[in-house]
Structure 1
Amino acid sequence: MRFAPAAAVCALALTASLTACGGEGAVQASPPEQASNPLCARASRQWPTTVSGQKARKVTTKSSTVHAWGDPAIIARCGVASPGPTATGCVSVDGIDWVGSKLSDGGRYITYGRTPAIEVLVPTKYNSLPPLGAFTQAVRQIPQGTHRCS
């Protein structure tokens, strides 16, 4: 899998505001701009119970469109902007297309061809096999558009 360097730079700044401190406290994360989209409400009802064997954690927002698991936290947010057409960093898991980018502390994955998109931030601890399959049911609540990984 190849990653887009430009996306990584943009994501790094975003990730800095989303990452959690270690320990038992709530994960600091905020809902994205399109979080109020009704499709995000549908998707959030399908968040997995566990991701990579990690249990859910509290987040600092009351929005159900943001969820976290484990320590360090894997963070999922529904309502991010869908990436434009790309051939770089595109991967398909369980029939769901994702665009991945490498971050200094893990990876960022955004659903491809769906609006609104779901973003999953995966710390390095889990990134050797990103747990994207855990999000299949949630992502399927948002219809696939015309953009697909090729």
Structure 2
Amino acid sequence: MHRRRVLRILPVLLTVTAVLAACGEQPVRATPFERSDSPACRAVAEHWPATVGGLEPRVTAVQSQGVAAWGEPPVVARCGKAAPGPTTDPCIDVSGVDWVATELEDGTMFTTYGRDPALEVLVPSEHGTAPLLLPAFEQAARQVPQTAGRCVAASDAGG
């Protein structure tokens, strides 16, 4: 007798669970780079930070370890980007990791410099001073060796 009640209730419970899940946060959509699942990016993914500036991790809608997200609006990190060449964009050193900063309409994109594959971190403008979030990515970025040079500060370039 009890078994039949459980079997009748089970579909209802599954439907309620599905409805509640639909009301929750949607997974973050981000396109992985071609090399996002390379051995180097798998090593990076093992060192994604637990939190970024107090922002909690988010589920992503992609099946790639090389993509991760935190907070709302999400800070998105992707590994596997082609290493940037010479640039006039500002380059900053954060704990020994060089990052090229590119201002976007709705935030800032940071790309590791001198590391191949590169790591990209997209920080929406709602999160304030974007470079303050980069120390969270230090261990992940260090999984890719610095082999292609360092940033040159503007004061060093003039001689």
Pairwise same-fold verdict (TM > 0.5)? yes
Distance in 1 (alpha carbons) for counterparts of 2:39 and 2:128? 30
TM-score (normalizing by structure 2):
0.77
Please provide the CA RMSD for this pair.
Answer: 1.2
Structure showing greater radius of gyration is: 2
Partner of 1:35: 36
Distance in 1 (alpha carbons) for counterparts of 2:49 and 2:57? 9
Partner of 2:138: 136
Partner of 2:71: 70
Distance in 1 (alpha carbons) for counterparts of 2:64 and 2:53? 23
Does the residue aligned with 2:85 lie in a helix, a strand or coil?
coil
Structure 2 matches for 1:48-127, cutoff 5 A?
48-127=49-128
In percent, how many aligned pairs have the same letter? 48
Distance in 2 (alpha carbons) for counterparts of 1:145 and 1:87? 20
What does the per-residue CA deviation read over 1:2-23, in whole Å, with 9 as the maximum and x for residues that have no partner?
Answer: xxxxxxxxxxxxxxxxxxxxx7
What does the per-residue CA deviation read over 1:40-63, in whole Å, with 9 as the maximum and x for residues that have no partner?
Answer: 000100000000100000000011
Distance in 2 (alpha carbons) for counterparts of 1:65 and 1:40? 6
Stretches of 4+ moved more than 4 A in 1?
none
Count how many residue pairs are aligned between Structure 1 and Structure 2: 128
Residue pair 1:87, 1:149 contacting (<8 A) in 2 also? no
The one-letter code matched in structure 2 to 1:99 is V
Which structure 1 residue ranges, 5 or more long, are not aligned? 1-22
TM-score (normalizing by structure 1):
0.81
Displacement of 1:37 in angstroms is: 1.7
Distance in 1 (alpha carbons) for counterparts of 2:149 and 2:128? 25
Does the residue aligned with 2:56 lie in a helix, a strand or coil?
strand
Which structure 2 residue ranges, 5 or more long, are not aligned? 1-23, 153-159
Distance in 2 (alpha carbons) for counterparts of 1:143 and 1:126? 29
Identify, as 1 or 2, the structure richer in strand: 1
Distance in 2 (alpha carbons) for counterparts of 1:104 and 1:87? 18
